[in-house]
Amino acid sequence: MTRPAELIRAAKHRWRVRRALAEIAARPLRVSPRPHGLKTPLVVSLTSYPARFGCLHHTLAALLCQTVAPDRVVLWIARDDMASLPRAVTDLAARGLEIAPCGDLRSYKKIVPALHAMPEATIVTADDDTYYGAGWLGSLVAAGAPVVANRAHRVALDPGGAPAPYRDWRRNIPHPETGPLVFPTGVGGILYAPGTLHPDVCRRDLFDALAPGADDVWLYWMHRLCGSRPEKVGGPMRLIEWPGTQGTALRQANLVQSGNDRAIAALTARYGFPQPQ
């Protein structure tokens, strides 16, 4: 039996989704993008897969109409999935979307192919199932830091200085914060300046073995090994995810089933934990 609190949450979510879709639809009438002002190309990079293709065009429409204009918005799709893309997605090529085939790297498709193809670019990753406001990209660029996130957790340490279990971390930091324990979460979008990621970042043999599905953990290690002090901007980010997109989400595997903890242990064994400085 569905509890009243669950019914209320579901109703609020439906209302937020309707409001988000209306905002995206109205956005082209009032958004005039300004140059990003960076010295490098600015690329928004994301991926998707058939289970989410039905709602993908909502996210893409939001990313293509920002107050700060990227140089490119690139959607990486596994080659075997290209034929399944709906017209609502492919038609967005007329608005500047680039659709690029790649190998099936699962969630790593949102960044690894971009790093190979555009090593000189500032790359901003996004998820495929989430609403992004018109100022989303501008808030990341304005920070001026090498690694910037709209949403982040704070790593908790045990008495020995190693990461505590993921469930014990401070979730969705509610205010701006900068430091080595700021853990960017990909769902909010993350900006990576060129040269901020360890050379191993694109090694499939390593991320498949050490952090399968835990790309946020892998990428945290890759920039922390280069001495990053990630910056979280803005207040707590409320996620508005499109209905029907969470049935195959990595969140359950990584949080409930401890996928992140396994990745943290494996990465610590390989590289050590990049100590806060």
Q: In this predicted model, what pLDDT tens digit does every residue of 88-102 receive, in sequence order?
A: 999 999 999 999 999
Is residue 164 predicted with pLDDT exceeding 50? yes
Q: What is the mean pLDDT of residues 78-87?
A: 98
Per-residue pLDDT, 269: 98
Per-residue pLDDT, 10: 81
Identify the band that residue 11 occupies on the pLDDT scale cut at 50, 70 and 90: confident
Per-residue pLDDT, 276: 85
Domain boundaries, the chain: 15-271
Per-residue pLDDT, 1: 56
Q: Tell me the per-residue pLDDT of 253-263, one tens digit each, with 9 for 90 and over.
A: 444 458 999 99
Q: What is the mean pLDDT of residues 35-56?
A: 97
For residue 191, how many other CB atoms are within 10 A of its CB? 28
> What residues contact residue 152 under an 8 Å CB cut-off, 6+ apart?
172, 173, 177, 182, 183, 184, 185, 188, 230, 232
Per-residue pLDDT, 5: 78
> Rounded distance, CA 104 to CA 207, Å?
13
Q: What is the mean pLDDT of residues 126-146?
A: 97
**Average pLDDT of the chain, as a whole number:** 93
Per-residue pLDDT, 7: 78
Q: What is the mean pLDDT of residues 115-138?
A: 97
Q: What is the mean pLDDT of residues 231-241?
A: 94
Percent of the chain with pLDDT over 70: 95
Closest among 211, 187, 65, 215 to 127, alpha carbons compared: 187
Q: What is the mean pLDDT of residues 48-58?
A: 97
Q: What is the mean pLDDT of residues 107-118?
A: 98
Please state the three-class secondary structure of the chain as a single string: CCCHHHHHHHHHHHHHHHHHHHHHHHHHHCCCCECCCCCCCEEEEEECCHHHHHHHHHHHHHHCCCCECCCEEEEEEEHHHHHHCCHHHHHHHHHCEEEEEECCCHHHHHCHHHHHHCCCCEEEECCCCECCCCCHHHHHHHHCCCEEECCEEECCECCCCCECCHHHCECCCCCCEECCCEEECHHHCEEECCCCCCHHHHCHHHHHHHCCCCHHHHHHHHHHCCCCCCEECCCCCCCCECCCCCCCCHHHHHHHCCHHHHHHHHHHHHHCCCCCC
Higher pLDDT, 37 or 238: 37
Closest among 155, 127, 134, 132 to 232, alpha carbons compared: 155
Per-residue pLDDT, 254: 47
Q: What is the mean pLDDT of residues 117-135?
A: 97
Q: What is the mean pLDDT of residues 188-205?
A: 98
190, 124 contact by CB (below 8 A): yes
Q: What is the mean pLDDT of residues 192-203?
A: 98
Q: What is the mean pLDDT of residues 79-85?
A: 98
Of the listed ranges 67-76, 80-89, 247-256, the one predicted with least confidence: 247-256
Encoded tokens for 101: 């085939």
Identify the band that residue 13 occupies on the pLDDT scale cut at 50, 70 and 90: confident
Identify the band that residue 246 occupies on the pLDDT scale cut at 50, 70 and 90: low
Q: What is the mean pLDDT of residues 30-36?
A: 85
Return phi, psi of residue 88, to 5°: -60, -25
What Rg, from alpha-carbon coordinates, does the chain have?
A: 18
Per-residue pLDDT, 29: 75
Identify the CATH number of the domain defined by range 15-271. Answer: 3.90.550.10
